Structure 1
Amino acid sequence: MTTPSRFDAARNASPYLYGTELEAVGRVLTDGQYGHTAVTEQFEQEAARFLGVPDAVATASGTAALHCALLAAGIGPGHEVIVPSMTFCATIQAILACGAAPRFIEVNPDTLCIEPAAVLEALTPATRAVLPVLFGGRAVDLGAAHDTLNERGIAVIEDAAHAFGSYSGSVRVGNTGDLTCFSFGPVKNLTCGQGGMVIPRNAEDAATLRGLRMLGVVASQAQRQASTTYRVEGFGLRYQLSSINAAIGLVQLPKFKTTEVTRQELWRAYRAALHGAKGITLVDVDVDRTVPHLCVVRVEGREEVFQRMIASGIAVGVHYPPNHLQPVFAPWRRDLPVTEQIGREILSLPFHQYMTEDDVRHVTSALKDAVEGTAAVTRALPADR
């Protein structure tokens, strides 16, 4: 098997493993219990302890976490959910899965996160939830909007898929909002191979979420095994996290301080290497309080820069094409000029824990060359082209 380059798409999409995950998964496979078991419940308990929250409900994916959280908040047909267009399409699909409608809003061009004024401006009588996306891992403070949202009974459901381990003030993300959703996909800060989690604020929400992710059955595995029957108490889906995936997470959790420091140092290395670079703007993640998930820059002539980077052997990406411009979401399209401009400029650089500072210098050198080359071509074009 060929080891991927540190700069190609395969490596960018690879999880960072600490070396004992295979042994942990092997124990589960040997045990023969692959579904939602005590291993999954242990992962929930350890994650809650790490985050400093009373409880955590593991799910099969980050998208499943969002869907369950929205349902638990009572979101359904006829309701609107305020959400940035600048996010992965999964965020919007979870809203549609509830029968609700997305109401797209602008983001701050410096952080790619939503701000209180944009939320308040977008409120309608149909608004039932606000879904901030913690882009790149950065916490979102809705500040002055909270009182209005509370008065109207509007839930704040955080899409923290990028933000496991980040801080909001003095506490880790997961302690704010009405519900917080994490993703443990392959390239997230903490991976389970695939998985997600919802952080509830009270025991009632926790019970609702556990029923939703387990086909409406709220009894634990141990309770079901000790009885000849079980009760299906409401609507639910098969969204539970398998013990195979949970075993990976249990290995990753105790190592997270290493993850945190490594990712922060990597982002700081990018910041230093790009300082003063002409034509390149680094999207701020508030690195001292964030465990960064992405390193995103804004450049003019993005399409040309993209192709030049690919030609140089460096896989770059776009996080994300604006959702309000996607064909499937056309019924909810709004005029969002800031987001559309950002969508034409953003470029995600290689960012994973296999990288070194030398790798960062290699990537940023190629980026500067690509931006300068693109600018030179633009300058050479006829003025009336």
Structure 2
Amino acid sequence: MTASARPDARRNASPYLYGPEAAAIARVLQDGQYGHTGITEEFERRVADFLGVPDAVAVASGTAALHTALLAAGIGPGHEVIVPSMTFCATVQAILAVGASPCFVDIDPATLCVSDQLVMSAVTDKTAAVMPVLFGGQPVDLSAVREELDERGIVVIEDAAHAFGSRQGARRIGAGRMATTCFSFGPIKNLTCGQGGMVIPRTPAEADALRRIRLLGMVQSQGERANTTTYRVNTFGLRYQLSGLNAAIGLVQLEAFQAAEATRRNLWRTYRDALAPLDGVTLVDVDVDQAVPHLCQVRIRQRDTVFADLRSRDIGVGVHYPPNHTQPAFTAWHRSLPATEQAGQEILSLPFHQHLTPTDIDRVASSSNRPSSPPEVRDAQAPDCVPWKLLP
């Protein structure tokens, strides 16, 4: 990639390839094994080893991971799933895909994640699952209420689309065995397969159910079906396998992941230092020693004005995310969520991807010139806001 072609601060997010991915794809093409093959199974084994878990089940996308995990848990019509509104719409669409209803819950303003108290305040007799979103790569600790959730028969399915590689204590996310964990390996994630996802099951029985569902409910594998005149379909299923082409990309990315997590943490720290001179600017809290950050966000009272101003300066800011309970498709489940609604008006995602350099980050900070109507930056932990003061 030439220097002129390198994505910079004009892009909010961008895929990052290390180079060997092209050769890995070429080998799969030469072998002619494009579908779910041995290379997909190797990727599953390597991810399981990386996380320190017995098993991992690869699927076609992060959304497919959530959908499959809900199906395997028996979640369906008449059930409610507690979920934060502050997430990508795919989280909610997976719940609707199984016929369940989202029960939107508010967030901690400092982290944009749910807490155990907020989760328990939303539990009803219809609650069948809790789907915490590990926003920006941050872990969500529900251990204090896990026993009560188990007693009520409520399963926990983590949406860890942002959090591959992050840790909770000494363990990687997915290794705690207290939840079914779903990762996304989409184009701009911490690890990409081009498109793909992974479910980390809690039990061997759950792993078997996940594999049947992702293969159209069939009992036999592709290799087993080649040696028989029939096959059995024992349950509802979908074509959610991860292709060998995508798995080949994932294997290369996994080999380089130690460099990826170091780079992303260093970029976040560089942003923190570059924005520190701006009085009143508070980054959304990330424990960067534990999380592998997927986003770098600030909160700004007059966010839309700042968004337009920085976009006009060719700075690729974004908004992650408009709250789902305000979306037209989900109005049937609308409820008052004050912290989420406030965050939805204030959050601004700064450019954040592995192509960025410290010079790019300095440009983002120094380009934040005062627009005609001076915006304010909201401190996520304080009710008062102070003006956005600018670097010289």
Q: TM-score, normalising length from structure 2?
A: 0.92
Report Cα offsets for 1:96-141 as digits up to 9, x if no partner. 0000000001111111010011111100000000000000000000
CA distance in 2, matches of 1:282, 1:217: 48
Which letter does structure 2 place at the counterpart of 1:3? A
Aligned-residue offset at 1:365: 1.7
5+ residue gaps, structure 2, are 377-385, 387-392
Change (3 A) 1:245 1:82: same
1:305 aligns with 2:303: no
Aligned-residue offset at 1:373: 5.8
Partner in structure 2 of residue 206 of structure 1: 207
Partner in structure 1 of residue 275 of structure 2: 274
Aligned-residue offset at 1:81: 0.2
Partner in structure 2 of residue 289 of structure 1: 290
Report Cα offsets for 1:347-381 as digits up to 9, x if no partner. 000000001111111111223x24796249xx9xx
Which letter does structure 1 place at the counterpart of 2:268? W
Mean Cα deviation higher: 175-184 or 120-129: 175-184
SS at match of 1:282: coil
Partner in structure 2 of residue 383 of structure 1: none
Matches within 5 A, 1:114-125: 114-125=114-125
Change (3 A) 1:313 1:123: same
CA distance in 1, matches of 2:22, 2:14: 15
Partner in structure 2 of residue 28 of structure 1: 28
Mean Cα deviation higher: 224-233 or 281-290: 224-233
Which letter does structure 1 place at the counterpart of 2:174? G
Change (3 A) 1:229 1:241: same
Partner in structure 1 of residue 390 of structure 2: none
Report Cα offsets for 1:8-57 as digits up to 9, x if no partner. 23xx4431000010110011111111111111111101111001110000
Which letter does structure 1 place at the counterpart of 2:43? F
Which letter does structure 1 place at the counterpart of 2:5? T
CA distance in 2, matches of 1:32, 1:143: 46
CA distance in 2, matches of 1:171, 1:219: 34
CA contact (8 A) 1:119 1:145 kept: no
Partner in structure 1 of residue 389 of structure 2: none
CA distance in 1, matches of 2:372, 2:183: 38
Kindly indicate which of the two structures has a greater share of residues assigned to helix. 1
Aligned-residue offset at 1:142: 1.2
CA contact (8 A) 1:104 1:324 kept: yes
CA distance in 2, matches of 1:283, 1:236: 39
5+ residue gaps, structure 1, are 380-385
SS at match of 1:288: coil
Which letter does structure 2 place at the counterpart of 1:277? L
Superposition CA RMSD, Å: 1.7
Aligned-residue offset at 1:229: 2.9
CA contact (8 A) 2:137 2:163 kept: yes
Matches within 5 A, 1:1-385: 3=5, 5-9=7-11, 12-176=12-176, 177-367=178-368, 369-370=369-370, 374-375=374-375
Aligned-residue offset at 1:199: 0.3
Which letter does structure 1 place at the counterpart of 2:152? R
CA contact (8 A) 2:217 2:238 kept: yes
Aligned-residue offset at 1:221: 3.0
Which letter does structure 1 place at the counterpart of 2:322? P
Number of residue pairs aligned between Structure 1 and Structure 2: 374
CA distance in 2, matches of 1:4, 1:190: 19
Report Cα offsets for 1:64-94 as digits up to 9, x if no partner. 0000001111100000000000000000000
SS at match of 2:143: coil
Q: Which runs of 4+ in 1 moved over 4 A?
A: 370-373
CA distance in 1, matches of 2:22, 2:354: 19
Aligned-residue offset at 1:4: 5.8
